[in-house]
């Protein structure tokens, strides 16, 4: 069905949009515009003398004031929660007069973020695992916050070094690989006091930034420094690294909050796998001492992709063991130095972990 739909639009794969395809696009475009218009007209927040009412394209929600449990916020929305059900009314931060609305809500309803923060703080201060007296537990919490702040700042500095300077390269990569293990160890040894990804306004300090920032920088190095020709070995070895990390984190003191939000748990597991993969890829290339093989590849096309960032691409003809044309991301200087139908150099190496990799220059 999908193949037939695409064939209809692209005129049998010839690259030009067919008349039938234009009709399909027009119908879907008009339908999309109509839905957007109806959503704008219908979407409305009404606050009466006794209730919140939210009109949407798909119906209406109402929560009476005496049924309001309270409200909480994130970076994008305000949520009005019901006492009697799971219903909630969502108010965008882009709503008109939202500042005045926040003040009115704070004066008339319970701020659930504050309540949750105080509940978490009291749970920490009453936990004898963190000290025998209130003073000991307060001191332990403040020390954990200071430690988390220091490690997070260090993670950001290291990420900037790896992402924008990377000199000396070997030292930067080694520190980038090792450093994300520090927040994992700190969380593991904190006995639940420091979290991997705590909620906004949580009483628990979080070390997500300390792990995430260097990992993202390592991802950038993998994207811009080299290309992997064969991924099979990397997938197998990085899977083993991932499993070893998860097993280590599950042993002994708790690391993952299985009773908390599932989305945060899933994101944490995904990030640990991303770290496992990029670490494996960088070990495969950075410590590879094999003799290089050299090839030439013809440039078939050039393109610049502009969005949140600008990237430069060369479409290369097949070369050596690479039997397919492939799009390669290159630096701006290299992009400007070569034209279509000219040759570029390719350096291919075996890889420390038997995952062949190459660079284009």
- CA 232, 233, 239: angle at the middle one, nearest 5? 95
Alpha-carbon distances of 305 from 5, 218, 313, 327, 339, rounded to whole Å: 27, 22, 8, 12, 17
* Cβ pair 41, 28 in contact under 8 A: no
How many CA atoms lie within 13 Å of 345's alpha carbon, on the beta-carbon side?
A: 7
Q: Is 13 helix (H, G, I), strand (E, B) or coil?
A: coil
Hunting for tokens 């008339």 — which residue is that? 108
Residue 291: band (very low, low, confident or very high) from pLDDT cuts 50, 70, 90: very high
Token pair for residue 145? Answer: 């916050």
Amino acid 162: pLDDT:
97
Using CA atoms, how far apart are residues 92 and 138, in angstroms rounded to an integer?
Answer: 36
Q: How many helices (H) and strands (E) does the chain have?
A: 11, 12
- With a cut of 80, say whether residue 324 has pLDDT above it: yes
Whether residue 270 is predicted with pLDDT greater than 90 in this model: the reply is yes
pLDDT at 322: 93
Residues in the chain, total: 361
pLDDT in the model for residue 15 = 45
E runs forming strands in the chain: 44-47, 51-56, 59-64, 68-73, 77-82, 88-92, 227-228, 293-306, 310-316, 326-330, 343-349, 357-360
Provide the pLDDT for residue 118: 93
The two structure tokens encoding residue 122: 């009291």
Q: Which two tokens stand for residue 117?
A: 């923060």
- For 131, the enclosing helix (H) or strand (E) is none
Averaged over 185-199, what is the pLDDT? Answer: 88
Distance from C-alpha of 127 to C-alpha of 144, rounded to nearest angstrom: 15
pLDDT of 7 > 50? The answer is no
- Mean pLDDT of the 287-295 span: 97
Residue 232: name the closest of 359, 323, 353, 358 by CA. Answer: 353
Domain ranges of the chain: 2-42, 59-110, 125-286, 293-360
Residues 113 and 201 sit within 8 Å (Cβ to Cβ): yes
Q: Each residue of 10-42: pLDDT tens digit?
A: 444 444 445 665 676 678 777 777 766 665 565
Q: What is the pLDDT of residue 12?
A: 46
Region 108-121 average pLDDT:
93
In the chain, the percentage of residues whose pLDDT exceeds 90 is 64
Q: Measuring CA to CA, how many Å separate 127 from each of 22, 131, 200, 204, 294?
A: 66, 7, 22, 13, 63
Average model confidence (pLDDT) for the chain? 88
Instruction: Output the pLDDT for position 319.
Output: 96
Question: Do β-strands 77-82 and 68-73 pair in parallel, antiparallel, or remain unpaired?
Answer: antiparallel
Q: What angle do CA 104, 109, 113 make, to 5 degrees?
A: 105
Residue of 289, 290, 344 whose CA lies nearest to 322 = 344
CB within 8 A of 348, min separation 6: which ones? Answer: 229, 292, 293, 294, 295, 320, 321, 356, 357, 358
CATH topology of domain 293-360: OB fold (Dihydrolipoamide Acetyltransferase, E2P) (2.40.50)
Going by their DSSP bridges, the two strands 343-349 and 293-306 should be labelled as: antiparallel
Structure tokens given for 29: 């475009």
Q: What is the DSSP code (8-state) at residue 65?
A: G
């Amino acid at each position: 069905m999908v193949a037939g739909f695409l064939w209809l639009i692209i005129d049998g794969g010839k690259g030009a949009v067919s008349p039938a395809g234009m009709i399909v696009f027009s119908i879907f475009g008009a339908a999309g515009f109509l839905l957007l218009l109806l959503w704008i007209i219908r979407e409305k927040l009404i606050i009466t003398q006794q209730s919140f009412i939210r009109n949407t394209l798909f119906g209406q929600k109402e929560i009476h004031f005496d049924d309001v449990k309270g409200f909480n916020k994130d970076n994008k929305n305000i949520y009005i929660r019901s006492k009697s059900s799971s219903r909630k009314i969502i108010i965008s931060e882009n709503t008109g007069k939202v500042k005045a609305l926040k003040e009115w809500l704070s004066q008339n309803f319970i701020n659930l973020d504050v309540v949750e923060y105080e509940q978490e703080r009291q749970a920490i201060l009453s936990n004898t695992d963190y000290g025998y007296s209130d003073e000991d537990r307060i001191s332990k919490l403040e020390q954990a916050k200071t430690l988390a702040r220091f490690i997070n700042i260090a993670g950001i500095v290291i990420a900037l070094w790896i992402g924008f300077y990377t000199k000396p390269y070997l030292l930067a990569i080694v520190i980038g690989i090792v450093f994300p293990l520090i927040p994992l160890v700190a969380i593991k040894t904190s006995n639940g006091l420091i979290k991997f990804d705590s909620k906004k306004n949580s009483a628990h300090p979080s070390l997500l930034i300390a792990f995430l920032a260097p990992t993202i920088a390592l991802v950038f190095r993998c994207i811009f420094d080299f290309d992997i020709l064969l991924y099979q070995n990397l997938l197998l070895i990085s899977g083993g690294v991932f499993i070893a990390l998860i097993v280590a984190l599950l042993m002994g003191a708790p690391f993952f909050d299985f009773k908390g939000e599932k989305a945060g748990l899933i994101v944490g597991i995904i990030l640990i796998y991303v770290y496992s993969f990029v670490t494996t890829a960088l070990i495969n290339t950075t410590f590879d001492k094999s003799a290089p093989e050299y090839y030439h590849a013809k440039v078939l096309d050039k393109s610049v992709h502009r969005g949140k960032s600008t990237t430069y691409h060369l479409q290369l003809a097949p070369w050596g063991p690479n039997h397919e044309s492939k799009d390669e991301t290159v630096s701006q200087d290299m992009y400007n130095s070569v034209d279509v139908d000219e040759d570029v150099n390719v350096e291919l190496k075996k890889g420390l972990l038997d995952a062949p990799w190459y660079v284009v220059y």
